[in-house]
Structure 1
Amino acid sequence: MLSVCGSSSMGRRDFLRVGGLGIGGLTLTDLLKVKAIATEQGIPVKDKAVVFLFMHGGPPQTETFDPKMDAPDGVRSAIGEVKTNIPGVTFGSTLKGLAGLADKLSIVRSFTTGNGNHDI
């Protein structure tokens, strides 16, 4: 059991469920506002889902979604790159199937944490 403010009646899953609902509720108004603005401007909104990959302990970005093949040795991908169906965008060579779907997804390459310990 997780102890929250001295109360031990809340389980870990309950805590995560309530926390997730709270965060979802905070962002829902912004999402609806953006959708309304897009509709007013005649921009079709086709998005149906978001998949957030938090790859804690996973492969480095240079071997997945940002191979940096123009970078020096030691920085760029060691396994190479594969072209996607978007001109100028490449993925790591192990993501050949996903590269064919690149026009259907978004990749964020600008996320920073402010510290280097990788424990977000």
Structure 2
Amino acid sequence: MSTFGQVIRIAFWGCLEFNLLLLYLIFVFFPLVTIMAIRRIHIKNKMKRKMIRNGMPRKQAKIYSKKYQSFLANYGSMRGIFRITRKTRKLVEEKKEETNNKPELENMNSVGSYSIV
């Protein structure tokens, strides 16, 4: 094969691989990174709301939640973020079960306290 044919073949495969790389970036990598960022922001806002509800001042809660978000951005992988969201869902479900499983109260005793059934 001539040198010109080799150059054409290399150029063809180079263009094809470049196009495949662009397709991968557009349809796989960028959506994953976007989803990861959205989840990090969602987790940050949930943390901030929870800290404010527990009595922390707004500015301090904002600072702590931002630190937590940057921790997730630096050290959290996609798999780690999915694990964190799964754990938080389990915690929420457990809390709901605890509130649903409160003991029923019978009638009031003569002393004024309730007896548990």
Task: Confirm or deny a common fold (TM above 0.5).
Answer: no
TM-score when normalising by structure 1: 0.28
* Higher RCO by CA contacts (8 Å cutoff, separation 6 or greater): 2
Question: What is the TM-score with the length of structure 2 in the denominator?
Answer: 0.28
Structure having the larger proportion of residues in helix: 2
| Structure label with greater radius of gyration | 2
| Higher share of residues assigned strand | 1
